[in-house]
Amino acid sequence: MKAIKADKFWVNEYEKVATLIEDVEILYEFWKEDEATEEEVKTQHQAVKDGLESLELQSTLNKEEDGFDCVLEINSGAGGTESCDWVEMLYRMYRMWAEKSGHKIKILNIQPDDVAGYRNVSMEISGEFVYGYLKGESGVHRLVRISPFNAQGKRQTTFASVFVYPLVDDSIEVEVNPSDVEMDTFRASGAGGQHVNKTDSAVRLRHLPSGIVVECQEERSQHLNRDKAMKMLKSRLYEQEVQKRNEERDKVEATKQKVEWGSQIRNYVLHPYKMVKDVRSAHETSQAQKVLDGDLQDFLKAFLLVDNK
C-alpha cells in the first residue's frame, strides 16, 4: 500500500504539470487570434515553469529514506542562556515551516533552560517527503545578534546543532539485541498533568555498541514511551547505516562538509545587518525574519539541487 501511494503521488504530480502545459498551449492558440489574451498566456506560462521546477525538486528525493517521516533534534551549544534562546528560535522556525507545509508535529522530548529557551528539543515531523526535505538541515546553525541577555548591549555569536534522521517504519527491518540496550526511567518535565510529572514515565535508552542515546516522554505510560524510544533508536541506527553507505560518495564531494559539531552550515545575522546565508549552497536572503518565521523552502531547495549535482 505504501508503494502504491508513492506511485500515485508521482503520477498525480506529473498529471498536474501535463494539464498546465495543455492549458497554456490552448491559450497560445487563442492568443494568435486575439492578442488581448497575452497577460493570461504569460500567467499560465509562469504556472507551468513553477510546476516544472517543483517537479524537478521533488525528483531529487529519490532515496528510499526520503519518503519517511523524521525526528528533528535541536541542542544548545556554547553560549549558556543565549544558546538556549537560540534553540527556542530554531524550534519555532521549524515548527512554523511544518505548519505552513501542512505537516504534523509531535514533541518527543523538551528540556527547558532555567532562565530562557530550551537546552534541547526533539520532535517528530510527519508528512510527504519530510525527511527528504529536511535532511540537509543537520549541522551547526550560527546566530549573530544584539543579545537581550547581555547588559552591555553587545553583539554576540552563539551556536546550536540540529540533527535530522528518518523515522523508519515497518517496511525497514533493523535488528537490535536487547542485551545491547540499557534503559533508564525518570520523571517527565513540562506540561502533561499530574500523572506525567509524578511518575517515572519518561524513558532513556542507551545503545552500548554505538553509544547512541534517545529519550522519550511524549506518552503518559512508561511502556508507550519505551516503544517510541525503541523506534527512535532503530531510526538512529538506520541513519547510521545510510551515512556509511554514502561515505565513499561524500569523500568525492570535496565541497560537502561532514555533519558534525563545528561544521557550520548556515549563518543567521541580525546585527549590524540582516542576512541568512547557507554555507554549502551559497543561497542567501536579507529577509531574515521571514526565514525565522518558517520561510525555509528556498534554502531547502538550494541545498537539494547542489547535493544532487
CATH of the domain at 188: 3.30.160.20
The CA distance from 127 to 303, in Å, is 20
Please check whether residue 283 lies inside any domain of the structure.
Answer: no
Please check whether residue 94 lies inside any domain of the structure.
Answer: no
Q: Is the dihedral of CA 299, 292, 141, 216 positive or negative?
A: negative
* Amino acid (1-letter code) at residue 278: D
The CA distance from 139 to 161, in Å, is 6
Choosing from 203, 228, 245, the residue where a domain stops is 245
Q: What is the three-class DSSP state of 97?
A: helix
* Amino acid (1-letter code) at residue 134: L
What does the block give as the cell for 183?
Answer: 534503559
Please check whether residue 23 lies inside any domain of the structure.
Answer: yes
Residue 80 has phi, psi (to 5 degrees) of 60, -130
Residues 241, 211, 227: CA angle, nearest 5 degrees? 80
Please check whether residue 29 lies inside any domain of the structure.
Answer: yes
Q: What is the pLDDT along the chain (309 residues), one digit of tens a residue?
A: 767 877 787 788 889 889 989 988 888 888 888 877 888 888 888 888 888 887 887 788 878 788 889 999 999 987 788 999 999 999 999 999 999 999 999 998 899 998 889 999 999 999 988 999 999 999 999 999 998 887 787 888 899 999 998 887 655 667 788 888 888 888 776 554 444 456 778 889 889 888 889 888 877 788 888 888 888 888 888 877 777 766 644 543 443 344 345 568 999 999 889 999 999 999 999 999 999 999 999 999 999 988 776
Q: Which range marks the domain in which residue 218 is found? A: 178-245
Closest CA to 61 of 122, 136, 153: 136
Choosing from 214, 245, 276, the residue where a domain stops is 245
Residues 214, 215, 219: CA angle, nearest 5 degrees? 140
Query: Any idea what DSSP says for residue 200?
Result: -
Whole-model pTM: value is 0.68
Please check whether residue 199 lies inside any domain of the structure.
Answer: yes
